[in-house]
Amino acid sequence: MGCSNSGSPAYGEMSWFCCGSSWGPCGSAGHGACGTCNSGSHQCAWPNTSDACFGITHPDQCGEGLARRTCGHVFYVTSVCSGKCVSVSIADCGPDTNPFCGERSCCGSTCYTNRIIDLTPSAYSAIADLSTGLSPARIDS
């Protein structure tokens, strides 16, 4: 599989997060739940990497039936706004989906709901502008 060609993609909001060695408020971020996360690598956080992770993020409370995927699993994330796609591997648990249930991001008339994936700055900036913070995306396995 690859970009935009799997049978059961997920649609939602993507954001970005820092991890690994960093500066400023990110300096205390650490290397993520998988111990491998670095801002300069094409990696992501997924809200259902383990029971403990799911117990924090609870995407189910937003109506999201996201599959269990563990460290190293590869997703293909396509930005609705740019049409660009990046491949990323899971390196952390997140985002914290349930505090923001119903939140929606749009690009033109295409809108997707709920935060379902966080990308590292290098991955997010490959397909979107970091200053947007949130953006609609399609996720394929």
Partner 1 sequence: MPQPDRRRFLTSAVLGGSAVAGATALGSLAPEAAFAAPPKIKLDPGALDPNFAEGRITGISGSLLRASGSDRTLHRVHVTDGTSIWKLHPTTFDQIKVGDGFYARGVRLPDGSLAADAIWVNIVNLDASIAAIEAARLHLDHNGKRVIGHVVGGRTAAVYGSAPAVADLTRLQVGRHVKVIGAWRPDTNEVDVATVYSGA
Convert residues 40-79 into a mask of x (bound to partner 1 by CB under 8 A) and - (unbound).
Answer: xxxx----------------------------x-xx---x
CB atoms within 10 A of CB 102: 8
**Residue 15 contacts partner 1 per CB under 8 A:** yes
Kindly identify the residues of this chain, within the stretch 95-114, that bind partner 1 according to CB under 8 A: 95-96, 99-105, 111, 113
Residues 4-25 as b or e (16 or more Cβ within 10 Å = b): eeeeebbbbbbbbbbbbebeee
Contact between 112 and 11 (Cβ < 8 Å): yes
Contact between 49 and 93 (Cβ < 8 Å): yes
Q: Which of 10, 14, 20, 80 binds partner 1 (CB under 8 A)?
A: 20
Provide the 3-class DSSP secondary structure of residue 105.
strand
Minimum distance of partner 1 from residue 7's CB (angstroms): 20
Distance CA 29, CA 3 (A): 29
Q: Which of 121, 136, 138, 140 binds partner 1 (CB under 8 A)?
A: 121
Minimum distance of partner 1 from residue 25's CB (angstroms): 5
Q: Which residues bind partner 1 (CB under 8 A)?
A: 3, 15-18, 20-26, 28-29, 36, 38-43, 72, 74-75, 79, 81-89, 91, 94-96, 99-105, 111, 113, 121-123, 125-134
